[in-house]
Structure 1
Amino acid sequence: MENDIYQVYEDEIHSLEEEIEMLTQKFENNEQESTFYSDEEIQVSGKSHQGDSKWHESPPDLKPELECLKSDLSFLMKFTGIWFTNYSKETVEKTGNKIIQKHRLSGNCCSLPFQMEFQLLEIQDDESIPAVVTDLSIIMECGEYSDLSKFVSCAEEQGSLLQFFRSLSFFAEWYEHRKCTFQHFKAKYPDIVRLPAGSSGDYLVIRSHELSGFELIIVWKIYVDEEGRVTPVLDLLPRIPAQALEDKVTTVENGPQCFRSMLHLLGIEASIENLIQSVSMEK
């Protein structure tokens, strides 16, 4: 009888040992996965700990680190001009060590708002393989901005987030510079300067009151090449009426070359200023 009782205990102990071994093996196999949680799991976990005051308090040693990260993020947003307003993600696929997540975010760079959606493929067990961005879709209000439309199409084709944000920062900087420059000259010379496409357009028109039909059109494009390099390109297009004098025609025909030389010597604003003053002082 006593031996039977011991046998029962031994069987129970053996069963528990097997269960512990199984759970240990399961834990080791899923150790890496334990660091990934969905938003729903985080919310449920947070609710289950509402009664625990320690859950709501950040460890003292993490608070300075959190403040430092916030400060760094604020600096980066001010430095690049890129501000994120909304962000969400969802797990599309999770098989073995492969995770595919869909990310959605929106924000603005200077005065250019944007939205994007993309999938991110990660291989957990191989740090040598970088995460791969696929199905990148960018929504921006391109409208009449042909430069911006080409830039967005190029970024979607290449699927490089780093290149997109870096190029977007430079593009937006030149875009704002062009816009402010056009607004400045329109306000300073309202009777001479016209902006047919608005201050956000890519050209400015200087017209002469002394010679009807005579105009100088300053075209200011912002190009983005396949490698994401942003380059502003300015040129001068004269519009000459048929009744213009011969000496005047010769001078105007050499205008584009002279304008490009002025850009190198004086810069954009000073070159436009000189053109406007030369037209306004013509007799």
Structure 2
Amino acid sequence: MTYGKVVSSTGREPPNAFRWEKNRQLTKMEERVNAENSEEVMLLEENIRHLQAEVAKLQCQRQRYREQLTLHSSEPLQDALSLLCGHEPREGAAHMVLSGLREEVEELEKDLQWQSRMNGISLRSCTASTLQSSSTKSVQQMCVSGQCSELEFQVELELSEIKGGERPEKSISSLNVVMCASDLHDFSSFLSGVEESNDLLLFFRTLRTFSDRVDERRRAFQHFQAKYGRVACVPDGCNWSLLTLHHPDLPGCTFVVRWTVDVSKEGEVTAKLDLLTKIPDRALRLFPSRAIGGAGEAFHSLLRLLGPEAALEEVIRAVGLITD
């Protein structure tokens, strides 16, 4: 007896065969889904292992930091922390903490005074406020005011710190410098360049040199005013840049010494002196036959040989403003 495949009169497979094919397809789909789920589970397990390893590493670092803190902690430090937190320190520890803080402040004040004497710059105040703070970057707005000799200044800046490397990278932005002095027309172009380049170090380095040259000019003019008060004076509002020499016996006969302190954008400070003459025609007839038209050039020659103060002394004597 031969058994063949049973086919319905419509030529289609019977319902049992159809269900068997459907079950086979469902089985393949389940196998594929299970395979995909297995891969996801393996990936998830691997991520969990990485996280566990990272947690273990962080726990080891935390334990190491605790050991270092315990190793370097001392009773004075613990007492100071207790005092700051409002807790009662050990008996007599409060006095020791305050005494230690006073000594530390005194040492810092001595160091600040030494720094001020060395660089000629005295700082009066310094304030800082945090504009941005994150794990990768912090930005602080700072305001520093002080004085260099007779020149008062105020510096406003933003200090940015990029974290993440072996050493934090710090940079200055939005630099603004305010000088509290009226005789700064020779310094203003330099300040503009400093604010554009944010070069704070160049500002402080040049400020000291500029202040020294301005002090030198002021002391020289004060010396001549005190020594030759009848003929030497600084015009009002000229801020020690001009020294006027009046002839006591020849009205209208005037010699003007113009002493400027120029500062380049690179911070090079140069003192420049010029001698200007104002001689009425009637007074020219009273001078010796030798013309004084070349007084300016002669004064520059004296400057190169003798320096500012000695050259001015020679000018005062040469034109007969004083007699020995």
| TM-score range relative to shorter protein | 0.7 to 0.9
1:265 aligns with 2:305: yes
**1:57 and 2:97 are equivalent in the alignment:** yes
Three-state SS of the structure 1 residue aligned to 2:186 is helix
Which residue of the partner structure matches residue 248 of structure 2? 209
1:14 is aligned to: none
The equivalent of 1:233 in structure 2 is: 272
Q: Secondary structure at the match of 1:243?
A: helix
User: 1:138 aligned to 2:177?
Assistant: yes
Distance in 2, Cα, partners of 1:182 & 1:198: 14
C-alpha separation in 2, matches of 1:45 and 1:156: 45
Question: 1:267 corresponds to which letter in structure 2?
Answer: G
Q: Is the partner of 2:250 in helix, strand or coil?
A: coil
* Correspondence for 1:187: 226
1:102 is aligned to 141
Show CA shifts across 1:141-173 (max 9, x none). 232442243443333233211111111111111
Q: Distance in 2 between matches of 1:139 and 1:50?
A: 45
Identity of aligned residues (%): 31
Partner AA of 1:135 in structure 2: S
Q: Which amino acid aligns with 1:258?
A: A
Q: Distance in 2 between matches of 1:47 and 1:264?
A: 64
Deviation at 1:114, TM superposition (A): 1.2
Residues of 2 paired with 1:206 and 1:252: CA distance?
15
Q: Is the 8 A contact 1:142 1:148 kept in 2?
A: no
Q: Secondary structure at the match of 1:219?
A: strand
User: CA 1:142/1:249 → structure 2, altered by over 3 Å: closer, same or farther?
Assistant: farther
Instruction: Indicate yes or no: 2:312 matched with 1:275.
Output: no
| d(CA) in 2 for partners of 1:266, 1:117 | 42
Q: What TM-score comes out, normalization by structure 1 length? A: 0.74
Q: Output the aligned Cα RMSD.
A: 3.6
Q: CA deviation at 1:49?
A: 5.1
Deviations 1:19-74 (A, max 9, x none): x939947x88xx9xxxxxxxxxxxx99742564466873998x9999877655443
| Structure 2 segments unaligned to the other structure (5+ residues) | 1-51, 66-80
Task: Give 2:293's aligned residue.
Answer: 253
Q: Letter of the aligned partner of 2:226 in structure 1?
A: A
1:281 and 1:183, CA in 2 relative to 1: closer, same or farther beyond 3 A?
closer
Higher relative contact order (CA 8 A, sep 6+): 1
Question: 1:21: which partner in 2?
Answer: 55
Task: Please report how far the alpha carbon of residue 134 of structure 1 lies from its aligned counterpart in structure 2 after TM superposition.
Answer: 1.0
User: Paired residues, what number?
Assistant: 249
Segments of structure 1 that go 5 or more residues without pairing to the other structure are: 1-17, 32-43
For 1:48, the equivalent position in structure 2 comes to: 85
CA drift at 1:104: 0.9
1:85 aligns with 2:119: no
User: Which stretch has the larger CA shift, 124-133 or 136-145?
Assistant: 124-133
Q: CA deviation at 1:180?
A: 1.3
The structure number with the bigger radius of gyration is 2
> Residues of 1 paired with 2:200 and 2:216: CA distance?
24
Q: Please say if residues 241 and 260 of structure 2, whose CA atoms lie closer than 8 Å, have aligned partners that are also in contact.
A: yes
Alignment CA distance shift 1:96-1:261 (3 Å): same
